[in-house]
Chain A
Amino acid sequence: MPPKGVPRKKGPSDGAATPQGPSLAEQLSYLNNPRPFKNPYYNKNVNRRAKNLKTVLTQEREKDRLRREALRQARAERTANGMDIDDGEDEEELNYSSIEAPPSVLPQRHYCDITGLEAPYTDPATGLRYHDKSVYALIQGLSPNVVKDYLSARGVNSIVK
């Protein structure tokens, strides 16, 4: 059953052609449903361009930096004026970028790029890690494009010298 309030789409009223019912997509489309709850006077800032992630994050960082500087200045003024120092001020920069986890400090374990088992060895020519000599024989036969794909799956983006 279509959602409430949608006007039932009627087929052609003349009996000549076989009436085609609305397709499933048309039934599910709610483009023409009345939306009384929307404010007609709200004009969206049509010129507003959708910002992408990078600009949003840099904006955040800028704002935080400015705020922090302002705080520091205020504190400096206060100490200069001899008023009591507010030590409880916690200068946390809590924004989207800051709560991201830091890089790992644990030693990285090496896993074979082909099979996924442990990889005690690394091929000096390509940089791939491998599990044993049969995998090494396989690596030797790989073309450079495939080698690049394997490396990028590990996050190593090598640039051709």
Chain B
Amino acid sequence: MDLDIQISNLPPGALPAPHPPSQPYGEHRSAHTPLVIDNGSTHLRWGFATSAHPFTGLNAVAKYKERRTNKPLLLFGDAIDSESGAKGQTRTPWEGDVLLGFDALENALDYALVHLGIDTPTVDHPVIMTERLCTPLHSRGLTSELMFELYQVPRLTYAVDGVMSFYQNNLPPPSSTFASDGLVLSFNTHSTSVIPILQGKGVMSHVQRIPWGSAQASEYLLKRIQLKYPNFPTRVTPLQTNWMLRTLCEFTPSYPSLLKSLSPRTLASGAPHPLSSITRIIQFPYLLPPPTAMPTEEELVAQAEKRREQGRRLQEIAAEKRKEKMESNERDLEELTALREERGELREKEWLGKLAKAGFDNEAELEDTIKKLDTWVKKARKKEAGEVTDDPMEEPSFPLVDVPDEELDEEGLKEKKKQRLLKSGWEFRVKTKREKEREREEREAEARREEEERNEDLEGWAKKLRGQQEKLMGKIKDRERRKNALGDRKSAAAQARMKNIANLAADDRVPKKKRKTGGEDTFGADDADWQIYRKINITAPSSDEEDDFNTLQAIESKLLQHDPTFNTSHTHASLSSQSSLLLSTFKPPLNESDVAAHAQIALNTERFRVPQVWFEPGMAGVDTAGLGEVIQNALGRFSHGERRRLVSNVFLTGGPSQIPGLQETLHATLRPMLDPEMDVGIVRAVDCSSDAWKGMAGYARTEGI
């Protein structure tokens, strides 16, 4: 299944650098050049109207006191990245889509003005700024207050960024007025707006706004990734999902047909699931485990050699020890036999004395030891000679056991007891040996019978075994189902269990009938009562399960061996752990040893699902109409002729409009709602991010300074 699934790496973070210096302020001092500020949710763009490009910075401010040197710092935009502690103190002027953080706004504007080098007591330039579509009065009021009271600008104009971007891209020739028509779709960070423009004027009464933008989209993508990979080792940040959104996500003209193509009814065996054609894998940074001391070939050979050497040495030592023992035993045997022979010549006392010296209490012991040594030596010699004999133990005699007690003296009694114990032990051993042999014979007989059966009628035998296997699997499944049912608090099984417990614990456990006749609690008299333990205690592992599993395994191994039609896919293990091709393509299963794979994320349907939310916000739980419906509503309020003019120039602007596939999708969405003879023309801004600023700059220049 080796497909070329692209693996992309995350972009490395860049160190923040200070902004390039602006032009010297001298030329603008007392020139009243208009100051153009695009106050966006993500980026702040500023510059004089005479510049061709704005300066851009992330619209965020952080006031941070450095730990080590205790110096307070004020950082703007990307510079926040330079100090890790500052990130926690970031404040943005925008809270979602509304301007609420005026301290942050003040600091941001300060930075912009300082960067431009303004050093006059007041900001002596007319200012043109952006604001949100139909911004709340509070926001506008405070911004105006900031501008007029704090910075004392002479004039202030507000503009909507989408409209300005439209202006920039439909610049009229220098002498005439701006009179283009079009439908502006402005994709901002926290919202998307639809603004119809007729005769160069925005028809503000018919605008609509969808509360879904790139910020919400990256959040949604992050949520989907977290659901798909709950145990992912590294943290995925919103910045990374933003990057994924920009580079990997796409719009598709018809989402339902894409989905249909991804869920085929039948798959050619061995063919990969169509999901893999849209899968992209992202590799996150991961740590390599320390290199295990994998011995190389030579090292392995050397180790084997060493081990063999050791074995040989040990064998030699053992052989030596055996020889020594043999020799010492033989010597002892000789001595003792010599001693025994001496017996005949000595007198009683001397004999006992000699025995005592040798370490024996009486003659019987001496005889015993001699006999033992003798047999040992004989056996050892035989073993050395290479024969392994399995002497049946000669039946030891226990003469004293049969003698009645009265005839024996004290010593005799002791002897008798000893002999009785020995006898019973010996008999027991003989009995068990015989039983074992019998069992073995039985088993062999059965195996033979089975083999005969198999040989005559393979199918019948296989069928019988398969029946057994299925029954066992059924039993295991039942048990599992029962366990699951008990886990659910409200199931019938769980309620029955609670009833049982309540019955047991009840104070009056006696059934009514018995109580009348004076009976008492008879729990336990019936053997079946004790089964209650099994019913109540669901977590105890029961030995039945293990037995079942073992028998199942035995049956399966026999089947595998002899039945040609039964293969590993029919075994219980593989049946229970089957996961479909769909799921294994959707989220590739992890290979234990592949460390890199543990830090990979595979995105397939998410790549199209997240942008689709722009057209179907219900997918993400946002209860508004999608882009298509909103455009339809907006167009519906115009006359036929106006609609034609609007639709011929649909204008896309804003950062998220750069996600590939948007134009085709819009076309596919709009085409069915309009009359066939209307042309649908969709245009994207030349520079989706900065065109708003450029439009404002252009407008400021024509305003007349």
Contact = CB atoms under 8 A, between A and B. Distances in A.
Q: Say whether A associates with B.
A: yes
A70 B298 CA distance: 97
B227 A63 contact: no
- Chain B's interface: helix, strand, loop or mixed, by majority? mixed
6 contacts: A4-B22, A101-B209, A117-B263, A134-B580, A146-B230, A155-B623
Interface stretch (B69-77, B406-414, B520-528): B69-77
A83 interface: no
B149 interface: yes
B230 to A, nearest CB: 7
Interface string A88-105: 001010111011111111
B209 A100 contact: yes
B134 interface: yes
Interface in A1-53: 1-5, 23-31, 33-39, 42, 44, 50-53
Interface in B585-631: 586, 604-606, 608-609, 616-626, 629-630
Nearest to B191: A100
A63 B137 contact: yes
Contacts of A30: 74, 76, 110-111, 114
Contacts of B118: 36-37
Contacts of A152: 621
Q: Which A-B residue pairs are the 4 nearest by beta carbons? A: A155-B621, A116-B605, A134-B580, A28-B79
A23 B18 CA distance: 13
B98 A96 contact: yes
Interface of B: 15-16, 18-22, 25, 63-64, 66, 71-76, 79, 82-83, 86, 95-96, 98, 100-103, 110-111, 113-115, 117-123, 132-139, 149-152, 193, 204-205, 207-211, 220, 223-224, 226-227, 230, 256, 259-260, 262-263, 579-580, 582-583, 586, 604-606, 608-609, 616-626, 629-630, 633
Contacts of B132: 96
A108 to B, nearest CB: 5
Contacts of B120: 36-37
Contact of B72 (A31, A35, A108, A155): A31
A28 B262 CA distance: 51
B119 A37 contact: yes
B259 to A, nearest CB: 5
A37 B113 contact: yes
A60 interface: yes
A106 interface: yes
Given A29-B74, A102-B625, A118-B263, A50 B205 contact: no
Contact of A99 (B133, B223, B586): B133
A31 B73 contact: yes
Given A153-B620, A155-B620, A117 B259 contact: yes
B82 A28 contact: yes
Contact of A28 (B75, B263, B630): B75
A115 interface: yes
Given A101-B210, A134-B579, A38 B150 contact: yes
Given A51-B100, A131-B263, A60 B122 contact: no
A149 interface: yes
Nearest to A1: B21
A59 B64 CA distance: 33
Contact of B586 (A50, A57, A115): A115
Contact of B619 (A34, A134, A154): A154
Contact of B86 (A1, A25, A35): A25
A56 interface: yes
B621 A156 contact: yes
Given A29-B74, A35-B114, A103 B623 contact: yes
A37 B114 CA distance: 9
A135 B66 contact: no
A49 to B, nearest CB: 11
Contacts of A90: 205
A111 interface: yes
Q: Most A CB atoms within 10 A — which of B71, B86, B120?
A: B71
A156 B618 CA distance: 11
Contacts of B625: 101-106
Contacts of B134: 94-96, 98-99
A29 B207 CA distance: 41
A94 B74 CA distance: 38
A95 B136 contact: yes
A94 B205 CA distance: 7
Nearest to B73: A29
A98 B110 CA distance: 33
A33 to B, nearest CB: 5
Contacts of B21: 1, 3-4
